[in-house]
């Protein structure tokens, strides 16, 4: 019974804030378990037919990543600086039903077992707050499998000799290899590495009532008009609605979690599309609004009982934001690759995943062969550093577009306490509430890891037979689509925000599950892990509810 | 999302410089330059139906865009793709908040050319060699960053935005405007034998 609508005055079992990668999963799991659920989503409910191939709109004009009601953002590199704010969003996320699972690239890497206990392996890292997770890979493995089968992931199990344990293969074969994949694979094999087909949350064949990819190429930054991208928009959300007990309430801008004198959450305050304020009452609240918005909401919810923000007795809300490091090497080849066709990545390499103390720094990562998507992005951003950006050489560069590919690196970001999201009281949203101030500077080891991986990426491209290879400079990052670690999990209430079941240490009926829950950053591509956590969290939250433990 | 070497932040940071710049005012050489640019419009070389720019300014923008993606050589350039129409429309659309700054930057560019080349009638009417020599002195300016970015947007954005006339931008870069593709996608994935076969070959060799 899609279209369920609760009366605003009605108390439901759960209100879930955010309908993205995590919120969509939690909404479906809780509603299928029989709980009444209202999902609060700031953005609209777009459908397949609403998406289109407009690079200017999606990449440069915030087609689905900014709303009038979005909080303004400001950025600075260190706490001593004044944050600047001039309209640009340092933190990019889609604001519509399905959240960033609508516009993601759909790289679905499982974290490796090592990701969960690196503090035990490497000890303290100066300038960072590296910690072990309160759970292990083995505990999460069944939920990774659940993601792959219920969200829909294409891949080839066993293709990598050191692949972490998995209990089932992928439900779909890998997507067809592209020229970038063939060349990346060749270069990596020539160097004695172990490239393998990229796991992607895109249908390689019809699956679960959704169409197979038609290889239009418009994945990264776009919504999929075929429904072949495994966004929660196309799977979890309609399945949640079909239970008849879940309402997706769009245009709902949540600005506060309300609590009573006992310190329990009573619901969320939100503005509707008309600017009217309402309280949605709930027996329990789940925040899945992403690593920036969840923290902002907790900080906005301060009151006499929670003076530093809700669930923030540790002072850790908003702290330790991790982006994942990244760099690129580029190459031109003799013949056309036509990389604008089909999905962005078809081959990856995890040979440098683990930290190797012999390198002299913490960190590791993965490397892929990929495209710098569309002609505008290529024209604006790609090319050999130092060459003139105009004239005949520029025209010649543009004409090399079909012969171009990147090798992109994705790596660890250390949790640094001063890297944080906080309230920006000088930049207010349309309701007069503080925006988001982001403070971020890459840890030196993150930059060293990125440089190391860019060197390896360039070697792979050289070994693949490219005509020309170059390494792009590695800069300190000021922009991200990965918002990780700002309400980290942990067993110690003094150093973490949620416990291993995603229940906040301070408020027994308030749960958080999204990128903010991550303790470490993995090596990029965090969405599969976020969703595995969401499946696991929902299972436990439902159990708590049924046992009267909330 | 992928991380480009030049971010949108970088672009906008540069744009911020030009949008905040104050134009010191036109003087005689600049006015003279504007007059000669107008002659190119009158000759029909430049699209006349502009909503934001004067035809004189449009002629200068068209000339600037043509140095970023020249018409010379194989394939169409910015002029053939009518990038200037795109930029004109953008000033009342997504670039509205930066339009005044762009106009200031354009005037500064015109004046700087006139100061540096008092013997030339205008940038738009100068020989290509003269244009390029002057252009090379402008690449560090905020205006150059902005107009270069807009030129590329206008070259490759959907034709409905006013540029990429008859999809000439996509023609230049070999971009096929289709919604469905099937493998092989490029030269190197033809006759691919499958991952297992490739892996077996390399692992056998090693």
pLDDT tens sequence for chain A (550 residues): 457 899 988 999 999 999 999 999 999 999 999 999 999 999 999 999 999 999 999 999 999 999 999 999 999 999 999 999 876 789 999 999 999 999 999 999 999 999 999 999 999 999 999 999 999 999 999 999 999 999 999 999 999 988 999 999 999 999 999 999 999 999 999 999 999 999 999 999 999 999 999 999 999 999 999 999 999 999 999 999 999 999 999 999 999 999 999 999 999 999 999 999 999 999 999 999 999 999 999 999 999 999 999 999 999 999 999 999 999 999 999 999 999 999 999 999 999 999 999 999 999 999 999 987 799 999 998 988 888 899 999 999 999 999 999 999 999 999 999 999 999 999 999 999 999 999 999 999 999 999 999 999 999 999 999 999 999 999 999 999 999 999 999 999 999 999 999 999 999 999 999 999 999 999 999 999 999 999 999 999 999 999 999 9
The counts of H helices and E strands in chain A are 11, 16
Which whole number is the average pLDDT over B22-32?
30
Q: B76: nearest CA in chain A?
A: A395
What range defines the domain where residue B15 resides? Answer: 8-177
Pairing of strands A468-471, A345-349: unpaired
List CB contacts (< 8 A) between B161 and chain A.
Answer: 56
A159–B195 C-beta distance less than 8 A: yes
Inter-chain CB proximity B5 and A398 less than 8 Å: no
**Mean of pLDDT over chain B:** 82
- How far apart CA A373 and CA A344 sit, in angstroms, is 7
Closest chain A residue to B95, measured at CA? A61
Buried b (16+ CB within 10 A) or exposed e, A234-246: bbbbebbbebebb
What the block records as the tokens of A514 is: 């999204």
Please tell me whether the overall predicted TM-score, pTM, comes out greater than 0.95 for this model: no
Q: Which of B68, B162, B168, B195 to mutate to test the interface with A (most CBs of A within 10 A)?
A: B195
For B126, the 3-state DSSP assignment is coil
Mark out the alpha helices in chain B (DSSP H runs). 8-19, 28-42, 55-68, 83-90, 99-116, 128-135, 142-156, 168-173, 195-205
A100-104, A402-406, B16-20, B81-85: least confidently modelled range: B16-20
DSSP codes, A235-293: THHHHHHHTSSEEEEES-EEEEEEE-TTS-EEEEEEE-TTS-EEEEEEEEEEE-S-TTH
Mutation pick from A327, A381, A383 vs chain B, by most beta carbons of B within 10 Å, is: A381
pLDDT at B13: 33
Residues ≥6 apart with Cβ < 8 Å to A399: B74, B75, B172, B173, B174
Give the number of A-B residue pairs with CB atoms closer than 8 Å: 203
Q: In what order do the strands lie in the sheet with A434-439?
A: A73-76, A434-439, A420-428
Total domain count, chain B: 1
Quick: pLDDT tens for B153-175.
999 999 999 999 999 999 999 99
Mutate to test the interface with A, among B129, B181, B188, B199 (most CBs of A within 10 A): B188
Containing A407, the helix (H) or strand (E) segment is: strand A404-411
| Among the partner residues B67, B161, B181, nearest to A216 by beta-carbon distance | B181
Which is nearest to B125 in space by CA: B50, B33, B31? Answer: B33
Residue B183, in any domain of the structure? no
Question: Closest Cα of chain B to A235: distance in Å?
Answer: 22
pLDDT value at position B42? 46
Give A168's contacts (C-beta < 8 A, 6+ positions apart).
Answer: A145, A148, A149, A157
CB contact under 8 A, B172 and A398: yes
d(Cα A306, Cα A400) in Å, to the nearest integer? 58
Q: Which of B75, B180, B199 sits opposite A216 (nearest CB)?
A: B180
Burial of A358 (0-12, 13-18, 19+ CB in 10 A): exposed
Q: Testing the interface with B: which of A76, A86, A182 to mutate, by most B Cβ within 10 A?
A: A182
Alpha-carbon Rg for chain B, nearest whole angstrom, is 21
Q: Residue A83, CB half-sphere, CA atoms under 13 Å: how many?
A: 28
Q: CA–CA separation, B34 vs B31, rounded Å?
A: 5
Which tokens go with A471? 């390494």
B153–A60 C-beta distance less than 8 A = yes
Asked whether residue B28 carries a pLDDT value surpassing 60, the answer given is no
> Does B18 score more than 80 pLDDT?
no
Tally of CB atoms within 10 A around A76: 18
Q: Taking CA A104 as the corner, what is the angle to CA B177 and CA A194, rounded to the nearest 5 degrees?
A: 95
**For residue A245, what are the CA distances in angstroms to A5, A28, A34, A252, A487?**
9, 10, 7, 18, 29
Q: Which residues contact A1 (CB under 8 A, 6 or more apart)?
A: A241, A242, A243, A244
Q: Do the domain assignments include residue B63?
A: yes
In CATH, the number for domain A171-222+325-411+442-479 is 3.30.410
Minimum Cα–Cα distance from A89: chain B residue: B9
Q: How far is it, in rounded angstroms, from Cα A95 to Cα A28?
A: 19
The shortest C-alpha distance from B181 to chain A (Å) reads: 5
Domain presence at residue B112: yes
Q: In this model, does residue B95 exceed pLDDT 70?
A: yes
Cβ atoms A100, A20 nearer than 8 A: yes
Would you state the pLDDT for residue B44? Answer: 54
Give the per-residue SS3 of A303-371. Answer: CCCCCCCCCCCCCCCCECCECCEEEEEEEECCCCCCCCCCCCEEEEECCCCCCCHHHCCCCCEEEEEEC
First to last CA, chain A: 28
Q: Are A391 and B16 a contacting pair at CB < 8 A?
A: no
CA–CA min distance A214, chain B (Å): 5
Confidence check: pLDDT of B43 > 70:
no
Averaged pLDDT, B120-133: 96
- Indicate the residue of B173, B185, B198 with minimum beta-carbon distance to A398: B173
Q: Does any domain span residue B125?
A: yes
The pair phi, psi for residue A207, each rounded to 5°, is: -155, 135
> For residue B14, what are the contacts with CB-CB under 8 A and spacing of at least 6?
B142, B145, B146
Rounded mean pLDDT, B25-46: 43
Predicted confidence band of residue B8 (pLDDT cuts 50, 70, 90): very low
Tell me how far apart the alpha carbons of residues A18 and A493 are, in angstroms, rounded to a whole number.
Answer: 25
How large is the average pLDDT for residues B44-73? 89
């Amino acid at each position: 019974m899609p279209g369920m609508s609760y009366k605003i005055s009605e108390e439901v079992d759960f209100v879930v804030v955010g309908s993205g990668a995590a919120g969509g999963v939690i909404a479906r799991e809780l509603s299928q378990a029989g709980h009444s659920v209202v999902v609060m989503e700031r953005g609209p409910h777009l459908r397949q037919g609403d998406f289109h191939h407009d690079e200017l709109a999606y990449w440069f004009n915030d087609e689905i990543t900014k709303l009038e009601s979005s909080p303004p953002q400001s950025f600075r590199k260190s706490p001593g600086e004044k944050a600047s704010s001039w309209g640009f969003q340092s933190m990019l996320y889609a604001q519509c039903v399905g959240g960033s699972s609508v516009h993601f690239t759909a790289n679905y890497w499982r974290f490796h077992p090592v990701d969960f206990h690196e503090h035990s392996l490497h000890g303290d890292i100066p300038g960072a707050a590296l910690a072990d997770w309160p759970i292990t890979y083995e505990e999460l493995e069944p939920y990774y499998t659940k993601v792959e089968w219920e969200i829909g992931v294409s891949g080839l199990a066993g293709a990598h000799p050191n692949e972490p344990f998995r209990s089932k293969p992928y439900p779909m074969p890998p997507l067809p290899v592209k020229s970038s994949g063939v060349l990346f694979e060749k270069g990596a094999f020539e160097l004695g590495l172990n490239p393998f087909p990229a796991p992607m949350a895109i249908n390689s064949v019809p699956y679960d009532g959704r169409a197979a990819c038609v290889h239009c190429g418009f994945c990264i930054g776009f919504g999929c008009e075929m429904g072949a991208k495994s966004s929660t928009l196309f799977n979890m959300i309609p399945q949640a609605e079909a239970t008849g007990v879940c309402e997706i309430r769009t245009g709902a801008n949540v600005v506060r979690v309300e609590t009573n004198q006992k310190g329990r959450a009573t619901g969320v305050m939100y503005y509707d599309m008309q600017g009217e304020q309402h309280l949605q009452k709930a027996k329990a609240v789940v925040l899945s609004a992403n690593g920036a918005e969840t923290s902002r909401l907790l900080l906005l919810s301060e009151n006499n009982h929670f003076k530093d923000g809700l669930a923030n007795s540790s002072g850790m809300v908003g702290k330790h934001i991790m982006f994942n490091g990244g760099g690129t090497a580029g190459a031109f080849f003799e013949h056309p690759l036509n990389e604008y066709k089909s999905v962005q990545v078809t081959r990856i390499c995890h040979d440098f995943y683990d930290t190797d103390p012999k390198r002299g720094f913490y960190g590791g990562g993965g490397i892929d062969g990929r495209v710098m998507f569309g002609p505008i992005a290529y024209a604006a951003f790609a090319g050999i550093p130092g060459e003139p950006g105009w004239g005949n050489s520029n025209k010649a560069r543009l004409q090399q577009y079909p012969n171009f590919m990147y090798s992109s690196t994705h790596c660890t970001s250390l949790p640094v306490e001063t890297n944080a999201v906080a309230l920006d009281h000088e930049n207010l949203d349309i309701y007069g509430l503080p925006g988001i101030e982001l403070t971020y500077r890459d840890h030196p080891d993150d930059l060293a890891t990125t440089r190391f991986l860019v060197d390896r990426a360039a070697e792979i491209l050289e070994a693949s037979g490219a005509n020309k290879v170059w390494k792009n400079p590695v800069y300190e990052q000021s922009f991200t689509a990965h918002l990780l670690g700002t309400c980290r999990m942990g067993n110690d209430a003094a150093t973490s925000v949620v416990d291993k079941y995603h229940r906040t240490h301070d408020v027994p009926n308030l749960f958080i599950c999204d990128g903010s829950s991550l303790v470490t950053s993995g090596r990029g591509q965090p969405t599969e892990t976020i969703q595995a956590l969401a499946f696991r969290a929902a299972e436990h939250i439902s159990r708590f509810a049924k046992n009267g433990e909330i | 999302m992928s991380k480009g070497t030049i971010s949108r932040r970088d672009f906008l940071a540069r744009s911020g410089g030009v949008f905040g710049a104050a134009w010191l005012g036109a003087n005689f050489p600049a006015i003279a330059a504007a007059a000669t640019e107008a002659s190119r419009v009158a000759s029909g070389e430049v699209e006349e139906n502009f909503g934001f720019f004067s035809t004189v300014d449009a002629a200068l923008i068209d000339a600037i865009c043509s140095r970023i993606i020249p018409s010379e050589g194989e394939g169409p350039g910015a002029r053939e793709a009518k990038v200037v129409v795109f930029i004109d429309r953008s000033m009342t659309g997504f670039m509205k908040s930066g339009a005044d700054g762009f106009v200031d930057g354009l005037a500064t560019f015109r004046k700087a050319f006139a100061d540096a080349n008092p013997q030339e009638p205008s940038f738009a009417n100068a020989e290509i060699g003269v244009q390029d020599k002057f252009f090379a002195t402008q690449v560090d300016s905020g205006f150059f960053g902005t107009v270069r970015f807009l030129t590329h947007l206008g070259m490759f954005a959907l034709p409905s935005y006013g540029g990429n006339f008859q999809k000439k931008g996509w023609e230049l870069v070999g971009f096929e405007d289709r919604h469905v593709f099937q493998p092989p996608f490029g030269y190197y994935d033809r006759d691919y034998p499958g991952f297992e076969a490739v892996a077996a070959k390399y692992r056998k060799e090693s």
